[in-house]
Structure 1
C-alpha cells in the first residue's frame, strides 16, 4: 500500500530524484519549498509553501501527518530543529540527507560511518561556507537523532552525480569528453574518483522508508582509477598532468572538479565505504550509464565551468612543450 511522504525541498537535483523515486514506487508525495526554484515535477505532487528560516515558515505543515519526512534542504541547525520538532509526532520516520563532509579525518582510507566527526557547529550559526558546511551538518544530524531516536535515518552521500546536476562538477567531465581532442587529465591516472548516482541515492531513500531502516549510512558508488574514469568517459587522448604542474598553473578542485590526489589530506573522500548501505540494499548504477545519462541532460543545460577551453589549451601547450 502506498505511503504518504513529505519532502522538505524536492525541486532541484537530489530532491527531484527522490521525489521521482517515491512516485515511481507508488507513493503519494508532498513537498515543502519556498517556491523560488524551477519546478518540473508532475502535477500529482502536492506543493506546500514555506521557509524554515521564517517564524511562520512551517505553518503549511501544521495539522498534517505523513508516514515519513525526507529532509533534503536542511543545512542550518535552527531550520532543522524547527522541522524536526514540529513533525516529531506527525511523521513515522525522519530521513536526513547529510554529507560525507562530516568526517573529521577525511585522509583515512576508507572512510566509514563510525569514524570520528568534525566538532559540531553552534546552533546559532547560519552562514554556510566551505568551513562551516561539515560542522553544521554534524549539528543537524545530532538534532534529528536526539529528536527521533530509532525513527531517524541519516544518509551521508559522497559527491552526487547524474542528470539535473547544476553544480557542473561531474558534468564538466562528460561535457569535456564530448568535445574530444586532447583532454587535460589530473595526476597520472592512478588516483581515484568516486561519486554516487543521484538515482541510486533516491532509490535507497525509498528503501529505508519502506522498510523502516534506521541508522547512519554512507552512500558512495563504484571507486574508479582516473585512468578507468577516462575510459568510461570515452576520452581517447588524456594528457596526464602532474600535481606539481597543476599547482604551478593554479589548477585545483574548482577547475578540475572531482580530483583529489590519493594521498591528499582529503583523499579519503574518494574512498568512502558503502559496505553498510550495500548490505541494507543499496544498488549501484554502472558508471558508464551515469556518464551517458548525465551527458544526455547536460548537453542542453548551458552549464559553465571554471576551466575554459582556452585556458585548458594554454596549459596543455605549456606542459607539452
Structure 2
C-alpha cells in the first residue's frame, strides 16, 4: 500500500528517456497573445519537455538551464541551452541575462532557490516553483487546502542540507525542505511568485511505474487484487496537463499557491480500474482485499491511499483554487491509452519488471491469504 515514504517521493523521479513522441499534443494549440522569454531550470525530466513543447507551440522563446546530464530531445523549435550545476553554486551562465518568466522544476533544497535568487532576482518578472503536496503537516485531513499548516524543519541548518543528506533521511526532510524552498522563493522573488503543489504525476514518460501498474495489470486480465472496497478516493495529474498549465499560468502572470491534482471531480479506485478496462478492452475479475491485511503484509499497491488511514488526506486534496486558475484535465482514458503506448514502446528489458506494484506471485500469495482469512 502507499506509504508515507511513497508520498514524500512525489517529485523524486528517475532518469527520463529523450523521446518526445507523447509531448506533442494532437489537439491544435493557438498562439499566445504575447511572446515570452521563458527560462526553465531543469527542463529535460518528466514535465519539463511538456512545458517546452507547449511553450514553443504557443510562440514563446525558451532557455533551459541544467547540468546537461540527460540526453536532450530534438525539440520542434529553437531552444537555447545553458549549463551549470546548482549543487556547486555554478550559475555563471545565468548572470547578466533577463527573462520574463523562470520556471523552477527540480528544486528540493532551499539553497538552490537562494542561489538562484542571488542571480535572478530583479532579472525575471515572474517565478514559478513546482513544489509538492508533501509540504503539508497533516496528511490525515481530508480536503487539504493551500492554507493548511506546513511541515516544519527540525534539523540544524536547512541551507546546509544537500542531496546526499536528503536521500539519507527522505521521510523526515523532503516535505519540510520543500516548504522552506517555497518560503525562500517568496523571500527572493517577492509577490510575483507562483507555487504549484502536485501530487502523483502520471502519464507517458513516467519512469516510476506507480500509476502504470494499474492499467498494465488490468490488461493482463484474470483475477486481480484490488485494495479496500474500491471506494477510496484517488488523485493524480497527467504530466502534460501539469506542464501545459504552468505555461498558461506564466502567460497570465498568475501569482499564488495551488494544489495541482485531478481529476476535476472526485474519483475512486474502482472508477480508475473501469477506465483502465475501457482503455485496454480487458475484463479482469476483481477481488477486494481489506486494508488491514495489505498493511500487515506491507503490500506495494501504489497510488491507492485508504480513506480510513493516517494518510487519508492525500487522496482528497482540494483542487478548487487550481480549477479556478484554469487547470484542465484530458480524459483519464486518454492518459491511460497514451501511457500504455509509451510503456510498450520501451525496450523489452525495461518492460520486463515494473518498478512499483505487486508481482504476480506476490498478488497470488495475498489472494490466498485473503481467502484463508475469509473462510
Normalising by the residue count of structure 2, what TM-score does the alignment of the two structures yield?
0.81
Is 1:125 paired with 2:161?
Answer: yes
Q: 3-state DSSP class of the match of 1:312?
A: helix
Q: Gaps (5+ residues) in structure 2?
A: 1-33, 278-282
Q: Gaps (5+ residues) in structure 1?
A: none
| Aligned-partner Cα distance in 2 for 1:291–1:270 | 19
Is 1:233 paired with 2:276?
Answer: yes
User: How big is the shift at 1:41?
Assistant: 4.3
| Aligned-partner Cα distance in 2 for 1:182–1:25 | 46
| Aligned-partner Cα distance in 1 for 2:99–2:149 | 33
User: How big is the shift at 1:49?
Assistant: 1.1
Question: 1:81 aligned to 98, 102, 114, which one?
Answer: 114
Normalising by the residue count of structure 1, what TM-score does the alignment of the two structures yield?
0.94
When residues 120 and 85 of structure 1 are mapped into structure 2, their CA distance, relative to the original with a 3 A threshold, is farther
Is 1:224 paired with 2:267?
Answer: yes
Could you report, residue by residue, the CA deviation over 1:150-203 in whole angstroms, capped at 9, with x for unpaired residues? 111100111111110111111111222222222221111111111011111112
In structure 2, the partner of 1:317 is 368
User: How big is the shift at 1:249?
Assistant: 2.6
> Where in structure 1 do 4 or more consecutive aligned residues deviate above 4 Å?
none
| Aligned-partner Cα distance in 1 for 2:71–2:223 | 36
- When structure 1 is superposed on structure 2, of 255-264 and 40-49 the one drifting more is 40-49
When residues 318 and 264 of structure 1 are mapped into structure 2, their CA distance, relative to the original with a 3 A threshold, is closer
| Aligned-partner Cα distance in 1 for 2:128–2:94 | 17
Q: Aligned-pair RMSD on alpha carbons?
A: 1.6
Q: 3-state DSSP class of the match of 1:75?
A: coil
Is 1:138 paired with 2:176?
Answer: no
In structure 1, the partner of 2:293 is 245
Q: 3-state DSSP class of the match of 1:13?
A: coil
Q: 3-state DSSP class of the match of 1:166?
A: coil
Is 1:95 paired with 2:128?
Answer: yes
| Aligned-partner Cα distance in 2 for 1:170–1:84 | 35
In structure 1, the partner of 2:14 is none
| Aligned-partner Cα distance in 1 for 2:43–2:219 | 30
| Aligned-partner Cα distance in 1 for 2:74–2:318 | 32
Is 1:180 paired with 2:221?
Answer: yes
- When structure 1 is superposed on structure 2, of 171-180 and 210-219 the one drifting more is 171-180
Could you report, residue by residue, the CA deviation over 1:112-167 in whole angstroms, capped at 9, with x for unpaired residues? 00111111462222222122110010010000011222111100111111110111
Is 1:8 paired with 2:44?
Answer: no
| Aligned-partner Cα distance in 1 for 2:337–2:141 | 31
| Aligned-partner Cα distance in 2 for 1:140–1:120 | 11
Question: 2:98 aligned to 54, 65, 71, which one?
Answer: 65
Counterpart mapping for 1:267-278 below 5 A: 267-278=312-323
In structure 1, the partner of 2:332 is 287
| Aligned-partner Cα distance in 2 for 1:24–1:317 | 52
Counterpart mapping for 1:35-46 below 5 A: 35-42=68-75, 44-46=78-80
| Aligned-partner Cα distance in 2 for 1:45–1:176 | 38
* Aligned partners of 1:175 and 1:298 also within 8 Å: no
User: How big is the shift at 1:320?
Assistant: 3.3
* Aligned partners of 1:6 and 1:32 also within 8 Å: yes
Q: 3-state DSSP class of the match of 2:212?
A: helix
* Aligned partners of 1:21 and 1:206 also within 8 Å: yes
Q: 3-state DSSP class of the match of 1:291?
A: helix
- When structure 1 is superposed on structure 2, of 132-141 and 32-41 the one drifting more is 32-41
